[in-house]
A and B are shown apart, each in its own frame.
Chain A
Amino acid sequence: MNENILIIDDEVQIRRLLEITLSASGYKISEAATGKEGMTMAATRQPALIILDLGLPDADGLDILRKLREWYEKPILILSVRNSEEDIIKALDNGANDYLTKPFRTGELLARIRVAIRQSQGNSDNPILVFGSLIIDLANHTARKNNELIKLTSTEFSLLALLAKNEGRVLTHQYILKEVWGMGYVEQTQYLRVFIAQLRKKVEDEPTKPRLLNTESGIGYRFGY
């Protein structure tokens, strides 16, 4: 704990709310009101996570995101009023780890921050991932539910593994398609739909109320946290 979080947002009220909420949860807070100030503070304070607004007075948030991503490897969480799918996908494609639209629930924000920080610190070397009754063995390419081996095709397993490894993080359709099927398939969302539907039947307790494989409307999927 006591990780440093940098907030880059020009709205005082939002900064104050975040400061109160995050401090109460034990984070140390740095604040910047402009993109330029934010860049400097990101370099000097070395925060464990950056919360970035897209609508900044001096620069486009997306530019700041790109510039930060040139050297900053820790998670960046976008917190913006822009809620169109295009904006969200663009931000995720440009290296944002997560995206939350204002107004947001502080509970959700805290959860996303926790996941992001844990992921950036956690050693992804561990080949066994456990999510309640679901255990995924990355080394042996197997998955078990309630201790029973689930029959998965190799594509289904790759898809499940990719999402699980990025637990809590939104993966865009294009990203998933590229990683699992390859570059030539990024437009073939129909594959993704079918495989997700099949996977849900195999791994979810209630396939109609998915808890692990969550749909982010028009953007992609997020593995449950």
Chain B
Amino acid sequence: MDFTDDNRPNPDELLASLINEEEKSKRGKLKIFFGMCAGVGKTYTMLQTAQAEKLKGNEIIIGYVETHNRKETAELVKGFELIPRKTYDYKSTPVQEMDLDAIIARKPQIVLVDELAHTNAPGSRHAKRYQDVQEILENGINVYTSLNVQHLESRSETVAQITGIIIRETLPDEIFENADEVELVDLTPDELLQRLSEGKVYAPERSKLAIENFFRKGNITALREMALRIVADRVDKQLHDYMQLKRIKGPWKSGLHLLVAISYTQQSTKLLRWAKNLSYSMGASIQAIYVETMHDLTSKEREQLDKNITLAGQLGIKFRIITNSDVVKAIVDFAQKENVTHIIVGKPRAINVLSMLRLGNFVNRLIRYSGNIDVYILGSDSETKDKYKEKVSIPSFTSNFQQYLTVSLFVILASVVCYLIKDYAGYQVVSFGLLILVSILALFYGTGPILLAAALSALIWDYFFIPPQFTLHIGKPEDMLMLIMFFIIALLNGILTSRVRPQEKKIRVREERTHALYQLTRELTMISGIDEVSKIAIKYIQKYFNLDCAIILKNDSNQLDNQLNQDTKIKLSENELSIASWVYKHSAKAGKYTDTLPSTDYTFYPLTGNNDNMGVIAVEHGTVFTQGEEQFWEAFLSQISSKYEREFLRNTAKKAFILNESDKLYKTLFNSISHELRIPVATIIGAADTLLSQSYPEETKLKLYSEINTASIRLNQLIENLLNMSRLESGRITPRLDWCDINDLANKVVDNLKQELLPFRLYIVIPASMPLVQIDFGLIEQVLHNLVLNATQNAPVGTSIRLKFFHDNGFLTVQVMDRGAGFPNDDLQMVFNKFYRGKDAKAGGTGLGLSIVKGFIEAHNGTVIAENRQNGGAIFTIKIPVKSINHLETTK
């Protein structure tokens, strides 16, 4: 019934494997030389392989190789280019580490990096060498490296159990699983021991020590078995992947999904490792959940939980937190939703009779509800037992002394009041009063104080109220019964109520967070502009996390700008900015409280949008985030990032639009200009040519001269217009305002156009009261010139052209009217557009004149509109705000 049991590849998995393949092909390939322990010859084999590759012509360099002063190994190193190591000062001792940047800059085909599980010196970019290797791979460089089985996270504990040595340098299993190639370097235990005793691995005196401690034959055999097994599992998995990819029908082991439910105890680390191993051998996918209940975690428990979650990540186990007061229901619901086939839980430990009942219930219920899902229950070992016990201090009882005192006082006070009214109400009613008090107290205090309140009020009731009074003795059996009932009800009431409270608190926190996210999203949708987004982001982070932050965004060329948002108090050093750009490039957090570059005051988080990183946010943490806070924080950042992404996209779209528009404009310009330029030039060339080639009568010559003249004037006009247009477009038109006599202006315009105006009747209307006004004489002259010229070009000969000026309320209004055909009504909005030409426009215009008019008027903060006159013709109305001064005032 589970469809994944079907013998067909699941499309999702197929897709995932394809994506995996594709991503891997861009990355460098990782080859691991894998061995059971030191001394089996991993480095040696790696170098040998490298020699062979080099002979094939591949470019191989050594990034970091440790020869351990072994002669044969040192011999093999010769002939390879060596990247010099980088020296760090660690507590005034120089420590040498691999130079990551140098390797990436050198960009060879293959680089050799020994000891994958190595821990870097503090101050290095990454805490661990495998992180360095990841970065090298991301840069498309292939890596050869070496690794021992004990360094695998999932095996380290087993190794510790076998050998008694705690392994500190561990490596997430994921790295090993995702390696492109694993070569097992194997020796039989006897051979290894022989090599050891021959001093081929360590110096003789050290060898002896080593053989006694670590290299005992039993140990070696166990480690070897483990190593062989891992490699065999890997081969299985590869085969499986291969079959999946090639759609080979076969025994699909997979379709098995494991779910590990972990808790906040140390036991969970074992659970996780064990489950991981199981998933290996079963070829199953695996994920983990933690069910958050109303149980309030102590800081120690929280710390352990965080550790467990981190471990899950290191083991490559997908992790989720689910909130539900019913753990069993949460696990089963989740398992069913995710098509889980096996649930793995730890065996709960009972502390007392009550919890034993409860826990037994847990297991029973899990088995009952899980239906056809298999349930594995893993036992806990003695080592973790004590720690477990220590951790399960009952938190609800931790209410402090003051609370007990307050509760007692309340009970006593209430008893006194009850004592005063007992004659009216009767001692039985008193019990209800006390019961109510206990219930009310339960709303405010923990289980401990409530137990006390219940017990105290029962005692008081018995002693002071139940007859015979002032004895604990109870006369009537029904009173006895009532007392017992009283106590039970008080207790239940108190406990139930106090159980509701933490859950309520949790829900409240959750609600607050949801609300905060909602508020943020809402406010983000209401604004636009990148700077605004930054402002909102900073405001909200300050409000809900109480953190100062700095935002560094990418620029147009998708590089991180070294520009912080303006209103931040944070100043980043050169070094910190480079951390930011690392974060931006790798989409992973870095800085304080992380594994990468932790020696700084800030933590850097990438602002990751759907497709790309938008930038980096730097935060000054006082304390590290808890798991819940981290999730909340990530949700916050994701909202902010996607808003940034939208803004960036919008900007890009806007730019594309402008580009498109200008492209269109360019084409129109090109067509219009080439035509308009060629006609007069053709006339000039033609006429001049004629004049040069033959002698004509004087009359003909004069006609040709006049043609050349007209064409030149037309050409000049066009150039004038183009220059004005480009001045306008470059935004370099700033009117030089100066006092201007309107009469002067009108006369000048008319004078310049006297030839064109000859066939028309011209009327100029200027009121006698027209003051001097402040305008740019030259620009307005050009405006009127264009408008009057336009009228002469569009109106029939013999009609009238009117030029009317008036001044009113701080505005100068100019109207230019003609009796031409006017404009089609649909065109009225467009006449000022560049290259607009009326349908019946005469040849010789570029369609620039009116848009220049508009530009010059707008430079004066004025408006210009085109309308059709009632009895035919066009009317242009210009309105400009002006300062004015009267002639009379001036002469005084």
Chain A interface residues toward B at CB < 8 A: 85, 103, 173, 189-194, 196-198, 208-210, 215, 217-218
Contact = CB atoms under 8 A, between A and B. Distances in A.
B772 A218 contact: no
16 contacts: A85-B736, A190-B890, A193-B741, A194-B741, A196-B744, A197-B741, A197-B743, A197-B887, A208-B764, A210-B747, A215-B744, A215-B747, A217-B748, A217-B778, A218-B738, A218-B778
Contacts of B764: 208
A198 B891 CA distance: 10
B747 A209 contact: yes
Nearest to A192: B739
Given A190-B885, A197-B887, A218 B741 contact: no
B2 interface: no
Contacts of B778: 85, 217-218
A191 B885 CA distance: 11
B772 A194 contact: yes
A189 B748 CA distance: 18
Given A189-B738, A208-B747, A215-B747, 8 more contacts: A190-B772, A190-B890, A208-B743, A215-B744, A217-B781, A218-B736, A218-B776, A218-B777
B29 to A, nearest CB: 62
A217 B746 CA distance: 12
Nearest to B720: A83
A171 to B, nearest CB: 15
A197 B716 CA distance: 32
A196 B738 contact: no
B712 interface: yes
B736 A215 contact: no
B739 A189 contact: yes
A191 B891 CA distance: 7
A214 to B, nearest CB: 9
A90 B887 CA distance: 29
Nearest to A85: B778
Interface of B: 712, 716, 736, 738-741, 743-744, 747-748, 751, 764, 772, 776-778, 781, 885, 887, 890-891
Contacts of B738: 173, 189, 218
- Residue of A103, A193, A198, A218 with most partner-chain B CB within 10 A: A193
A193 B747 contact: no
Contacts of A193: 739-741, 744, 772, 890
A25 B160 CA distance: 113
A190 B744 CA distance: 13
B748 A215 contact: yes
Given A215-B748, A218-B778, A191 B890 contact: yes
Nearest to B747: A208
A217 B777 contact: yes
B572 to A, nearest CB: 45
A196 B891 CA distance: 12
B751 A209 contact: yes
Judged by DSSP, the binding face of A is helix
A190 B747 CA distance: 18
Contacts of B740: 193
A85 B777 CA distance: 10
Contacts of A217: 748, 777-778, 781
Contacts of A191: 890
Nearest to A207: B743
B716 A103 contact: yes
Contacts of B747: 208-210, 215
Which has the most chain B C-beta neighbours within 10 Å: A85, A173, A190, A197?
A190
Q: Which 10 A-B pairs have the closest CB atoms?
A: A218-B778, A190-B739, A194-B890, A193-B741, A189-B739, A218-B777, A217-B778, A194-B887, A190-B890, A217-B781
A103 B716 CA distance: 8
A194 B744 contact: no
Nearest to A194: B890
Contacts of B716: 103
A114 to B, nearest CB: 22
A85 B738 CA distance: 13
A174 B776 CA distance: 16
A198 B890 CA distance: 12
A215 B764 CA distance: 18
Contacts of B776: 218
Nearest to B751: A209
A196 B741 contact: yes
A217 B748 CA distance: 8
Contacts of A198: 891
Contacts of A208: 743, 747, 764
A103 B712 contact: yes
A85 B712 CA distance: 23
Nearest to A193: B741
B413 to A, nearest CB: 89
A167 to B, nearest CB: 19
A208 B712 CA distance: 30
B743 A194 contact: no
Question: Most chain-A CB neighbours within 10 Å: which of B716, B744, B748, B891?
Answer: B744
Contacts of A85: 736, 778
A194 B751 CA distance: 20
Contact of B744 (A103, A173, A197): A197
Contacts of B736: 85, 218
A215 B745 CA distance: 9
A217 B784 CA distance: 13
B742 to A, nearest CB: 10
A173 B777 CA distance: 13
A152 to B, nearest CB: 13
A194 B777 contact: no
A177 to B, nearest CB: 11
A143 B744 CA distance: 23
Nearest to A153: B891
A189 B776 CA distance: 13
Contacts of A215: 744, 747-748
A24 to B, nearest CB: 15
Contacts of B744: 193, 196-197, 215
A41 to B, nearest CB: 31
Nearest to A218: B778
A80 to B, nearest CB: 14
Nearest to A198: B891
B774 to A, nearest CB: 9
B757 to A, nearest CB: 12
A80 B679 CA distance: 26
Nearest to A173: B738
B734 to A, nearest CB: 11
Nearest to B715: A103
B611 to A, nearest CB: 49
A194 B885 CA distance: 10
Nearest to B713: A103
Nearest to B778: A218
Nearest to B748: A215
Contacts of A173: 738
B678 to A, nearest CB: 18
B788 to A, nearest CB: 15
A193 B740 CA distance: 7
A211 to B, nearest CB: 10
